Amino acid sequence: MVRRFGLYYAILSCVLLAGLLLLVVVRLNANRTTAIDEATASYRRIEADLRAAFDTGADPARLLREYIAVVPTVDAVVLYDPNVGIRYVWTTDARMLRLSDRNLAEVRGFPQYDLSEITQFSVRNRVSASAPFYLDVVYRVLRFTDVYAPLRDALIVLLAYGFVSILLLILIDGQKRTPDSSRASRSSAKAKHAKPAVPASVAPTVTTPPAEPAASPEPAASPEPALVEIDLEEIATDPGEPGAMINPVSGLSYREHLERKLSLELERSAYHDQDLSILIIAFEGSDTPELHSERAAQILRTFTFEDLCFDFAANTFCVILTNTDLTQAIRTATDFRAGAGASAIGISARNGRLVEASRIVKEAQRSLDHARSERSGIVGFRPDARKYRQFLSEHRDAG
C-alpha cells in the first residue's frame, strides 16, 4: 500500500511540475505577444508623427527624444538614410549596435543589431515620402515584471503543494506509530465474535526442508542433590519486576512480551509490504539453568537483537525474523540447527496475510510438533494467503 501510494504521489508530482512549467511558458508567451502588439501600435504612432514632421520641416530629433521619454520599453532608436548616413541614434546598451561614434556619418546601408529573439523586438519602416529616411526602433517585449508574476504564482502553488505533502507525511507517520487503536478494535471484535476454525480445505500445507542425518541426542545430565532446584518454565515466563523487558537470567525478552512485540512487527511488515517469519527452537537434554543460559547466549550470538529473541518454555526459545520469508527462514534455521545442536525448529511466516500474532505463534508451535517427528528436525508452516483471505471473507459475511 505504501509503495503504491508513493508511486501515485511521484506521478502526481511529475504531472504537477510539468503542468506548472507549461503554464509559466504559456503565460510568458501571452505577455510577450501582448507587448509586441503594444510595441507595433506605438511604432505606428511615432511613424505618423515623423511623417508629419518631415512634411512641416520640424526637427525629428526633438520628436524622437520626447517619444523615448514617454515609452519606457524602447531599447534603441536609429533614424538614418541608407545613402547618406545616420541622422539620430539612441540606445540603452551600446553593445546592441554594431556602430561607433566616429563613423556614424559614414555608415551606409541598413544598421545591424545584436538582439535577443526572446526579450526584444525590432520594427523598421520608411518615415518620409520626400527622402529615403528609415526609422528602426528596438522594443523590450519581455521585462522583469512580465516574468515575475508567472514565476511568483508557480512558486505559491509549489509551496502549497509542499505544505500539503508535509501534512500527509505527518498523518501517515502518525497512523504508523499509533497502532494501539487498531489492535484495540480488533480485540473488541474478537471478544464479541469467536473466530471460526479454519476448515481442512483451506488449511496450510507443511513444508519440510531436505532431510539431514539425525544428530545423536544429548545425554541427560543426572541431577545433583547439592544444587538448588529451579523451575525453567518459571524462568521463561516470570515477568520479574514490573515493566521489565529482559530476563536477567537468560538475557532474552520475557515470553509475556512476545505477542505484543510480534503484533507491532506484523503491522510494520504489512505497512512496508514485507514478509516476517518466526522460529520456535527446541533443545533436548538437560534443563539446568546453566545450559538454559548457554543456549540463550547462542540465540543472541546468532540473531543479535534481544528484543526479537524470547524465552518461550523450558529449553525452548522464539525468534522473530523481520523482512524474511519462509524460504529464507528455513535456510537460517538449518544453519543454526547445524551449529547450535537444536533438536527441532518450527517455523511460520506472514506470507502476505494480515494475521494476528497469536495465530502465527500457534502455527509455529504446530510446525514444531511436526518437526519433532521429522528426521530433518525443521518444519515450515506454509499458509495459502488467497485461501486464507477467502476464508476470512466468507466467515465475516456469515457473521
Task: Read off the pLDDT of residues 20-45 as tens digits, 9 standing for 90 and up.
Answer: 999 999 999 999 999 999 999 999 99
Question: Is it the case that residue 139 has pLDDT exceeding 90?
Answer: yes
| pLDDT score of 232 more than 60 | no
Packing angle between helix 357-373 and helix 258-271, nearest 10 degrees?
Answer: 110
For residue 189, name the pLDDT band (cuts at 50, 70, 90): very low
Q: How far apart are CA 233 and CA 237, in angstroms?
A: 6
Q: What is the mean pLDDT of residues 342-361?
A: 90
DSSP-assigned states of every residue in 44-100: HHHHHHHHHHHHHT--HHHHHHHHHHH-TTEEEEEEEETTTEEEEEEES-GGGBS--
Name the pairing type of β-strands 276-282 and 134-140: unpaired
pLDDT score recorded for residue 207: 52
pLDDT of residue 109: 67
Question: Average pLDDT in the 138-142 region?
Answer: 91
Predicted pLDDT at 100: 54
Which is more confidently placed, 164 or 204?
164
Residue 200 has pLDDT above 60, yes or no: no
**What does the mean pLDDT of the chain come to?**
79
What DSSP designation does 314 have? T
HSE-up (13 A, CA, CB side) for residue 382: 14
Band (275; pLDDT cuts 50, 70, 90): very high
Residues near 71 by beta carbon (within 8 Å), at least 6 away in sequence: 42
Q: What gap in Å lies between CA 265 and CA 275, rounded to an integer?
A: 10
Angle subtended at Cα 95 by Cα 90 and Cα 97, rounded to the nearest 5 degrees: 55
Which pLDDT score is estimated for 243?
Answer: 57
Q: Which letter does DSSP use for residue 256 in this model?
A: G
Q: How far apart are CA 254 and CA 264, in angstroms?
A: 16
What strand order describes the sheet that includes 134-140? 85-91, 74-81, 134-140, 120-126
Task: Quote the pLDDT of residue 101.
Answer: 53
pLDDT of residue 373: 86
Q: Give yes or no for a contact between 399 and 193, defined as CB atoms under 8 angstroms apart.
A: yes
231 — pLDDT class (breaks 50, 70, 90): very low
Position 52 scores a pLDDT of: 87
Q: For residue 146, name the pLDDT band (cuts at 50, 70, 90).
A: confident
Tell me the pLDDT band of 18, cut-offs 50, 70 and 90. very high
What pLDDT, on a 0 to 100 scale, did the predictor assign at position 398? 60
pLDDT one-digit tens code per residue, 201-216: 444 455 555 444 444 4
pLDDT digits (tens, 9 = 90+) for 279-337: 999 998 777 888 888 899 999 999 988 889 999 988 899 999 999 999 999 999 999 98
Q: What angle do CA 242, 244, 249 make, to 5 degrees?
A: 120
Q: Mean pLDDT check: name the lowest of 66-70, 81-85, 149-153, 172-176.
A: 172-176
User: Who wins on pLDDT, 123 or 382?
Assistant: 123
SS3 assignment, position 233? helix
State how far the Cα of 116 lies from the Cα of 344, in Å rounded to an integer. 81
What is the reported pLDDT for 37? 93
In the chain, what are the domains? 2-145 (3.30.450), 205-216+229-383 (3.30.70.270)
Structure confidence at residue 187 as a pLDDT band (50, 70, 90): very low
The predicted structure's pLDDT at residue 223 = 37
H-state helical runs in 272-379 = 289-303, 326-340, 357-373
pTM of the model: 0.42
* pLDDT for residue 382 is more than 90: no
Q: Which contiguous run of DSSP H or E holds residue 347?
A: strand 344-349
* pLDDT higher than 50, residue 397: yes
Amino acid 8: pLDDT: 83
Higher pLDDT, 362 or 171: 362
pLDDT at 217: 46
137 phi and psi angles, rounded to 5 deg: -130, 130
pLDDT tens, position by position, 81-134: 887 778 888 888 877 776 655 566 566 667 778 888 888 898 988 888 777 888
